[in-house]
């Protein structure tokens, strides 16, 4: 959980990742939109990202340089570990 201390200290940019490839894509996009809205209202700089390819995601990571990635992906790709493995490899919480 992010606290005010986290926000003022180091967390400024949050990339909210949603969409993906599962049958739950539309639900994921809705989840991402609502999470982005709440984080923005809390004062964070938020960018929503519709995950369609790994290359696009990696390019977005380079361009936006988030402090944190919020995983709003549903289904196997987002909930069973593959996406978290990518974030772990990139050393992004």
Domains of the chain: 16-52+67-93 (3.40.50.20)
According to the model, what pLDDT value does residue 10 have?
A: 74
Whole-angstrom Cα distance, residue 71 to residue 31?
Answer: 10
Convert the pLDDT of each residue in 27-60 to its tens digit. 999 999 999 999 999 999 999 999 999 999 999 9
Read off the pLDDT band of 76 (50, 70, 90): confident
Q: Which tokens sit at 34?
A: 């609502």
Cα–Cα–Cα angle for 66, 60, 2, rounded to 5 degrees: 25
């Amino acid at each position: 959980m992010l606290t005010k201390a986290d926000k003022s200290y180091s967390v400024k940019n949050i990339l909210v990742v949603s969409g993906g490839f599962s049958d739950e894509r539309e639900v994921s996009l809705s989840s991402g939109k609502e999470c982005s809205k709440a984080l923005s209202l809390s004062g964070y700089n938020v960018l929503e990202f519709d995950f369609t390819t790994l290359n696009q995601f990696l390019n977005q990571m380079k361009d936006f340089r988030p402090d944190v990635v919020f995983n709003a992906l549903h289904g196997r790709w987002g909930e069973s570990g593959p996406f978290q493995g990518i974030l772990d490899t990139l050393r992004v919480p």
